[in-house]
Amino acid sequence: MTNVVRHTAAKRAPMDSMRKTALVAGLLYLITFISIPSLALYKQVKTDPNFITSAGATTPLLVGGFLEIIVALAGIGTALALFSVVKRQHEGFALGFVTTRVFEAGVIAVGVMSILSVVTLQQPGATGAEATSLVTLGGGLVATYNWSFLLGQSLMPALNALMIGTLMYRSGLVPRAIPAVGLIGAPLLIIATIATLFGVLEQYSAVPVLAAVPIGVWELSLGLWLAIKGFKASAPLMIAAAARSGSSDGTATALPSRHVVATEAGAA
C-alpha cells in the first residue's frame, strides 16, 4: 500500500508543478491587459503640444507610466514561466520568445521614460524662447513614445505570437484554436505596423487598431485558459513529464504490480 501511495504521489508531483506554472503564466498574461487605459491617460500630453508649458494634471501620466511598467515586467514573466515547459517542444523558439519579451519590455520602458520626462520638464507659465524650447522638447519626447509604442506594443506582440503561438500549436498544451488566432493575427499586425512605419497608415487609426484585435483575443484567450484550465493533460509534453516521473522511481512503480499479482495468486 505504501508503495502504491508513493507511486501515485510521484506521478502527481509534475502535474501539480505544471498546473502552477500554467496558473502563473495565465495570470501574468491577464495582467498585461492592465495598461489598456494608458492611451486615454496620455491623451492630453499627446494631443496638446503646449502641455509642457501648461498646468495640466500630471497624475494621469504617472499612473499610465506605472501601469505600463507593470505590463513590461508581466510580459517578461510570461516568457520565464513558460520557458521551462515549451523548451521541450523547441528550445530555439522558446529562447526567441524570451528574447522578444525582454526587447518588448525594454522598448516599453523607453516610452514610459519619455512620458515621465515631460512631467519632470513641465514648467507652467514659461514664455518666450524658453517656452518654444520646451514645446519642441516635449514634442520630441511624445514622438519618442509614439515610436516606442509602435515597435514595442505593436510589432513585438506580433513576433511574440509567432514564437509562443507556434510552440503552443505544435505541443497541443492548449486547444489549437487558441494559438491559431494568434498565428493568423500576427502577420496582419506585422503588415499594419510596417505600413504605419512607412507612413501608409496613420498610427492609432482604425486599421492598425483592428489589426491588433486578433492578437488581443489570442493573448486574452491564452491567459484565461492557462489560469482556469491549465495545460491539457493529453498533450505529449504532459504525458512525457508523467512518464519521466514514473521512470525516476522505477522500484516504486514496479513493486505495486508484483505485490498485486502475488496477492491475487495467494487468494487463488
Can you give the pLDDT at residue 247? 64
Over the stretch 209-231, which tens digit does the pLDDT of each residue have?
999 999 999 999 999 999 999 99
Task: Establish if 191 belongs to a structural domain.
Answer: yes
Over the stretch 18-40, which tens digit does the pLDDT of each residue have?
999 999 999 999 999 999 999 89
Q: How far apart are CA 166 and CA 171, in angstroms?
A: 8
pLDDT at 7 over 80: no
pLDDT at 260 over 80: no
pLDDT at 51 over 80: yes
Mean pLDDT across the stretch 196-219?
A: 96
How many separate helices (H) and strands (E) can be counted in the chain? 11, 0
Can you give the pLDDT at residue 241? 82
Better-predicted residue by pLDDT, 211 or 10: 211
CB contact set of 125 (below 8 Å; sequence gap of 6+): 53, 55
Which range is least confidently modeled, 14-23, 105-114, 135-144, 241-250? 241-250
At position 264, the amino acid (one-letter code) is E
Task: Establish if 264 belongs to a structural domain.
Answer: no
Better-predicted residue by pLDDT, 15 or 59: 59
* pLDDT bracket for residue 15 (50, 70, 90): low
* pLDDT bracket for residue 242 (50, 70, 90): confident
Task: Establish if 253 belongs to a structural domain.
Answer: no
Strands (E), the chain: none
* pLDDT bracket for residue 243 (50, 70, 90): confident
Q: How far apart are CA 13 and CA 162, in angstroms?
A: 31
pLDDT at 57 over 70: yes
Which residue in the block uniquely carries the three cell numbers 491475487?
264
Q: How far apart are CA 63 and CA 267, in angstroms?
A: 73
Task: Establish if 172 belongs to a structural domain.
Answer: yes
Task: Establish if 84 belongs to a structural domain.
Answer: yes
pLDDT at 258 over 80: no
Number of domains comprising the chain? 1
Task: Establish if 257 belongs to a structural domain.
Answer: no
* pLDDT bracket for residue 125 (50, 70, 90): confident
Mean pLDDT across the stretch 87-96?
A: 96
Task: Establish if 224 belongs to a structural domain.
Answer: yes
Task: Establish if 267 belongs to a structural domain.
Answer: no
Which range is least confidently modeled, 120-129, 146-155, 175-184, 257-266? 257-266
User: Which domain covers residue 51, as residue numbers?
Assistant: 13-236
Mean pLDDT across the stretch 40-63?
A: 95
